A and B are shown apart, each in its own frame.
Chain A
Amino acid sequence: MSKIGIIIQREYMTRVRNKTFILSTFLLPIMMILFIIGSVFFAVKSVEKQRVAVINDPGYFQKHLRSDSSQVVFEFTPGIDSVNYADRGYDGVLYLPALPGQQPYELISRKQFGIAARGYIEKQLNKAIENHLLEEKGIQKEVLDSISNASEDAVALKNRVTDKKGNSKQANAGLAYGIGFGSGILIYITMFIFGAMVMRGVAEEKMNRIAEVIVSSCKPFELMLGKIIGIAGVGLTQFLLWIILITVLMTAMQLFVPAEMLQQMQDAQANQQNLPGGPNNTMALKILQAKTTIVEGVNWGLIIFCFLFYFLGGYLFYASLFAAIGSVINEDPQEAQSLMLPITMPIIFAFIILTSSLNNPNSPMAVWASIIPFTSPIVMMGRIPFGVPDTVPYWQLILSMMMLIGGFLFTTWFAGKVYRTGILMYGKKVTWKEMAKWAFRKS
């Protein structure tokens, strides 16, 4: 076996046999599943029923305010006022004017009503007022309803995406969004986790002073590359195990969780759409929708190939830079922080561009960010699911891949130069400027 093979083997084996690797590999999917179950469970259970006593006597709303949800119930019980409503089991008391158009509208409660509940009450009030206005103008509500019912589902717009020859494909933005977001975020996270692992490994060898023993047996470049490749192997192993475990657990869950519960979960998901949730909610929802929809026209082979390509390319590009940092730092962890900033910034920046390019995969920023190797592994993965060569022309994909290959060859060469000097240098604070000097001086 070649020396680099022996090094790869050691880097891989010591990490894979490590307790933390085994724990994180097996615990993470379990925790993820528990988290999903937990959050759905609480989403289902936490929809609290609000009883609201309405004071509107005599008044227009008594006949027209209706509740069509179990979330908020309106009751017109006589004898309720703002003093005794809580004792009678109501969560709030709603004072309404006799006629729409008058003031005030007031909701009195002990506890603050949630945004969703308040929104719902407002919506129902507006509906009642709308009906009143329609009637005033002589439009029957039933007539209007029948018209809007008839027109509501009359058109289902299909976005037919065609290539130059006019062959059409069915576009599914939701699915593309889901795949793009999922693979982009996966690459983003792994770059940080495994990049940091490379950096720590290199720094450890330097601190232990084993580096000098080893580079008297092999080239420093072999040691660095062996470590980077070994850790890439660890990453791929972990991915594979996670995918297998999650699939197994998901299948097991569907077998053991009662059908009602699943139905409830789906309802909760559907309800979420009505709730003003944060961006995470809608994003999670889109991913879920993407998972549940199976559509033709997605080139899975290409997507998987590109994912592996950009995962490895992006990892190699950044891991060698992390290795260079690991080789120049001393005992002080503060040093690593300041040196890492110029590397972590583009990664975070790429992630920000990813979220915006998912909504607009052809904006100039998305296009350029998916070609420049500093951001391309993350951003390009957000664009590819929208279609090659429709959204991402071949020239962009090929240029981006070539740039990434060129990029990681350059960073590996650069890191190799820095590493060779840094690994044997102690007690000196090094800046990026100095590292660049080491790389470009003649040797």
Chain B
Amino acid sequence: MQPVLEVSNLKKYFATQKAVDGVSFTIGKGSIFGLLGPNGAGKTTLLRMITGIFYPDEGQILFNGRPFNPESDVAGIGYMPEERGLYKKMKIGEQAMYLARLKGLSREESMTRIKEWFVKLQMESWWNKKVEDLSKGMSQKLQFVTTVLHNPDLIILDEPFSGLDPVNANLIKDEIFRLAQSGATIVFSTHRMEQVEEICDHIVLVNKGQKILDGTVKGIKQQFKEDIFRIAFDEPVLPEHTAIHLFQVINKSEKELILKKTEGFTTNDIISYFIHKGLTIHAFNEILPSLNDIFIRQVEGTPQTRQFETVVSH
């Protein structure tokens, strides 16, 4: 996969802290990339360097294989910051037009694209409304449209679903998938892990300005798996069934066990043990750790840990 963005050894120091301290990663074309980390980890600073708002103190950014040039490359980037911003007193149509033209689109082209998007997201009747008359979710949709209007190669979305109801969140999610399919690369920044598991192909975790994890969602889960399995039976499980050194019981209900395999044994050893005991196995599967658990473990012990949102794992 051809990389859209290559970041190597990027550094940005502020007077009081090392906001970004030597981060490197590569984002492939057409992928959905998750940039994760607790608050204050340096995500926003990293994104601001990629969008040309900040200059890095050190390091290199390659955009489509060439050194990143903020002047000309910003037309290929769409950035939706975490703190949404729109002119409150401006009419919605004019606002979208203004932002599109700042990205280099002509008046006619902006008009066609805005109309297209407004129809797609059921916003046609909004043209003459002002932003101050919109609900939070509605202005979120407008913000998304203004971010992608100019068909950027790289779309950077900082917490894109916050404030959206499930219906609109799905609408935007579908659009994100569609944009990725048509060749755009999406960079997601969030600390909502369940969204990351669902959407992202590739993730990078940063903490205190440094990268601590890099890989695909599946790969990272494999890397951090703990040999925990769920096994379900047709008959009730009796206490004498579990007194064995093959595994440790973590959780137990009437006809189901959650267990941790002891090192040196295989899953077949466990299954054949229960078959031998005369129990009918109804289901057997591995429980991989949730990204949330992995990340909490990774950043544990740092003061930022508590700022992670606790997400109920499913």
Query: Residues of A at under 8 Å CB distance from B?
Result: 1, 3, 6-7, 10, 14, 205, 208-220, 424, 443
Q: A10-B98, A217-B99, A424-B48 are in contact. Are A210 and B86 (CB under 8 A)?
A: yes
Q: Which residues of B contact A213 (CB under 8 A)?
A: 79-81, 85-86, 99, 143, 146
Give the docked Cα–Cα distance between A216 and B52 (Å): 6
Our pick among B53, B71, B77, B143 for the contact of A215 (Cβ within 8 Å) is B53
Given A14-B90, A424-B48, do A212 and B103 touch, yes or no (CB 8 Å)? Answer: no
Give chain B nearest CB distance to A27 CB in angstroms.
21
Contact A216 B53 (CB under 8 A): yes
Interface string of B207-227 (1 = CB under 8 A from A): 000000000000000000000
Q: How far is the CB of B81 from chain A (nearest CB, A)?
A: 5
- State which residues 46-62 of B face A: CB under 8 Å: 48, 51-53, 55
CB neighbours of A205 from chain B (8 A):
85, 87
Q: Which residue of B lies closest to A215 (CB)?
A: B53
**What CA separation (Å) do A217 and B52 show in the bound complex?**
9
The complex places the Cα of A443 from the Cα of B57 at a distance, in Å, of 8
Given contacts A6-B98, A216-B51, A216-B52, contact A211 B85 (CB under 8 A): yes
Q: Does B205 contact A (CB under 8 A)?
A: no
Cβ of A209 and Cβ of B84 under 8 Å apart?
A: yes
| Cα-based distance from A389 to B81 in the complex (angstroms) | 57
Name A209's closest neighbour in chain B (CB-CB): B85
Among all A-B residue pairs, the 10 with the closest Cβ atoms: A209-B85, A210-B85, A209-B83, A216-B79, A217-B102, A216-B51, A212-B81, A208-B85, A213-B85, A6-B101
Bound form: Cα–Cα A218–B79 in Å: 12
Is B136 interfacial (CB-CB < 8 Å)? no
CB of B260, distance to nearest CB on chain A (Å) = 46
Write out the residue numbers on chain B whose beta carbons fall within 8 Å of the beta carbon of A209: 81, 83-85
Given A213-B81, A216-B79, A208–B86 Cβ distance below 8 Å? yes
Instruction: Give the complex CA separation of A426 and B80 in angstroms.
Output: 18
**Contact (Cβ within 8 A) B89 A14:** yes
Bound-complex Cα distance A212 to B79 (A)? 9
- A424 CA / B263 CA spacing, docked (Å): 52
Q: What residues on A are CB-neighbors of B71 within 8 Å? A: 219
Q: In this assembly, does B32 line the interface, its C-beta being within 8 Å of a C-beta of chain A?
A: no
**Given A6-B98, A216-B74, A217-B103, does the pair A210, B87 have CB atoms closer than 8 Å?**
yes
Q: Which residues of A lie under 8 Å from residue B70 when comparing CB positions?
A: 219
Q: Which positions in B face A, CB cutoff 8 Å? A: 48, 51-53, 55, 70-71, 74, 77, 79-81, 83-90, 98-99, 101-103, 143, 146
B85 touches A212 (CB 8 A): yes
Q: What is the total of A-B residue contacts with beta carbons within 8 Å?
A: 59
Point out the residues of chain B lying under 8 angstroms from A7, CB to CB: 102
Q: Which residues of A contact B48 (CB under 8 A)?
A: 424
Nearest residue, chain A, Cβ from B54: A424
Let me know if B53 and A424 touch, CB within 8 A.
yes
Pick 10 A–B contacts, CB within 8 A, sort by A.
A14-B89, A205-B85, A209-B81, A209-B83, A210-B87, A213-B79, A213-B85, A213-B99, A216-B53, A218-B74
Do A6 and B86 have beta carbons less than 8 Å apart?
no
Report B-chain residues with C-beta under 8 Å of the C-beta of A10.
98
Of chain A, the residue at the smallest CB distance from B103 is A217
Residue in contact with A218 in the complex, picked from B80, B83, B84, B102, CB distance below 8 Å: B102
Which residue on chain B has the smallest CB distance to residue A5?
B101
- Alpha-carbon separation in the docked complex, A10 to B146 (Å): 17
Bound Cα distance from A353 to B75, whole angstroms: 51
Q: Which residue of B lies closest to A7 (CB)?
A: B102
Residues of A within 8 A of B87 (CB): 14, 205, 208, 210
Given contacts A209-B81, A213-B146, 9 further A-B contacts (CB under 8 A): A6-B98, A10-B98, A14-B90, A212-B53, A213-B86, A213-B99, A213-B143, A214-B99, A216-B77
CA distance in complex: A413, B101 (Å): 26
Q: Are A208 and B52 in contact (CB under 8 A)?
A: no
Distance from B4 Cβ to chain A, minimum over Cβ atoms (Å): 17
Once bound together, how far apart are the Cα atoms of A424 and B52, in whole Å?
Answer: 13
Q: Which residues of A contact B99 (CB under 8 A)?
A: 213-214, 217
Residues of B within 8 A of A6 (CB): 98, 101-102
A212→B102 CA distance, assembly (Å): 13
User: Measured between C-beta atoms, what is the minimum distance from B276 to chain A in Å?
Assistant: 64
Q: Distance (Å) between the CB of B205 and the closest chain A CB?
A: 24
* Given A6-B101, A210-B87: A443 and B55 interface contact (C-beta under 8 Å): yes
A442 to B129, CA, bound (A): 45
- In Å, the complex CA distance between A212 and B143 comes to 12
Contacts of A14 in B (CB 8 A): 87, 89-90
Please name all residues of chain B whose beta carbon is closer than 8 Å to the beta carbon of A215 when the two chains form the complex.
53
Return B9 CB to nearest CB of chain A, in Å.
Answer: 19
Best-surrounded residue of A213, A215, A219 (most CB of chain B within 10 A): A213
For the complex, what is the distance from the CA of A6 to the CA of B103, rounded to whole Å? 10
Chain B residues, CB < 8 A from A220: 53
A211 surroundings in chain B (CB, below 8 A): 85
Are A217 and B74 neighbours in the complex by a CB distance under 8 Å? yes
Q: Are B102 and A208 in contact (CB under 8 A)?
A: no
Q: A153 to B53, alpha carbons, bound, how many Å?
A: 76
Interfacial chain A residues near B84, Cβ < 8 Å: 209
In the complex, what distance in Å separates the CA atom of A212 from the CA atom of B101? Answer: 16
Closest chain B CB from A357 CB (angstroms): 42
In the bound complex, CA of A3 to CA of B100 (Å):
11
CA distance in complex: A265, B101 (Å): 57
Tell me the complex Cα distance, A214–B52, Å: 11
Which residues of B sit under 8 angstroms from A1, Cβ to Cβ? 101
Residue of A209, A216, A219, A443 most packed against chain B (CB within 10 A): A216
Shortest Cβ distance from A224 into chain B, in angstroms?
14
Contact residues in B for A443 (Cβ distance below 8 Å): 55
Could you tell me if B102 and A214 are in contact, using CB atoms closer than 8 angstroms? yes
Question: Which residue of B has the minimal Cβ distance to A218?
Answer: B102
State A73–B18 Cα separation when bound (angstroms): 88
In the complex, the chain A residue whose C-beta lies closest to that of B55 is A443
Q: Indicate the member of B48, B83, B89 with the most A CB atoms within 10 Å.
A: B83
Q: State how many angstroms separate the Cβ of A205 from the closest Cβ of chain B.
A: 8
Query: What's the least CB distance linking B30 to chain A, in Å?
Result: 22
CA A7 – CA B99 in complex, angstroms? Answer: 10
- Which residues of chain B are within 8 angstroms of A212 by Cβ–Cβ distance? 53, 79, 81, 83, 85
- In the assembly, what is the distance between CA of A215 and CA of B48, in Å? 10
State how many angstroms separate the Cβ of B115 from the closest Cβ of chain A: 20
* CA of A6 to CA of B110, assembled, Å: 13
